[in-house]
Amino acid sequence: MTDDEYGQWYRNHVAHFPEFDAWAARKPDADAITAVWRRTLSRASLDDATDATIQLYGRDTQSPYGRHAVIVAGICRDQERRRRQPSRSRYVDGEPTYECLRCLDQGRVSVWRRKSMDAARNGTLGEGFTVYTCAVACDCRAGEDHGWLTRYDPAKMLLCTPRESHEAELQELRDFVAAMPAKTREPQEWTPN
Ligand SMILES: [Zn+2]
């Protein structure tokens, strides 16, 4: 990014995180921080960095402002790497094969959110505003490209898998929650919101 492009990225970033600018300005060494950010993002393209800001904005949890430049730069590197890699899918006898059958090498899977797990636990799953899913990074190699997402943990999260009916999907979550060992039933620590 040129200085000009950095300025563009910064304005867009502040538009997503309005408090970011005020936070930076309050720092006694604001100029030094800006210089570090500028260097951290020097290899990223404006397009990638702008996309990365949007991804960061859409994350489940808020990252500390002091880490934003590092996170944005990391997402940009992931995007760059993904562009360089050939598609992971291979064909055997004309059929696509995948290294990971869970995410089909997409690196992301859909799991039930904490709200839904809580609802399954207290018997209200299926009522209004109780059915939510979110994306987490698969625990395979492709998932490493989505490092800003929570990592999938099969012991604690249930994949949202299409079943023959919506009710069957809900029942699967109820069964999963009921079968969880008591010590992992407090999901605040790990479940995506
Ligand atoms: Zn996977």
What is the rounded CA–CA span in Å between residue 103 and residue 93? 21
Domain assignment of residue 27, yes or no: yes
Helices (H), 138-193: 166-179
What pLDDT, in 10s, does the model give residues 53-64? 988 888 766 778
Q: Which of 84, 119, 143 is the last residue of a domain?
A: 84
Distance 6 CA to ligand 1 centre (A): 34
- Domain count of the fold of the chain: 2
Distance 105 CA to ligand 1 centre (A): 5
The H or E element that residue 136 is part of is: strand 133-137
Domain assignment of residue 71, yes or no: yes
Give 190's Cβ-side CA count (13 Å radius): 14
Distance 127 CA to ligand 1 centre (A): 31
Give the model's confidence band at 85: pLDDT under 50 very low, under 70 low, under 90 confident, else very high: low
Indicate if 118 and 175 belong to the same structural domain: yes
What is the rounded CA–CA span in Å between residue 19 and residue 27? 13
Distance 109 CA to ligand 1 centre (A): 8
Who surrounds ion ligand 1 at CB < 5 A? Answer: 100, 102-103, 138, 140
Distance 137 CA to ligand 1 centre (A): 8
Indicate if 49 and 13 belong to the same structural domain: yes
What pLDDT, in 10s, does the model give residues 29-55? 888 888 888 888 988 999 999 999 988
Here the tokens at position 144 are: 């490493």
Distance 141 CA to ligand 1 centre (A): 7
Q: Is 159 exposed, middle or buried (0-12, 13-18, 19+ CB in 10 A)?
A: middle
Please tell me the chain's helix, strand, coil percentages from 3-state DSSP, rounded to the nearest 5. Answer: 50, 10, 40
Helices (H), 58-135: 68-84, 114-122
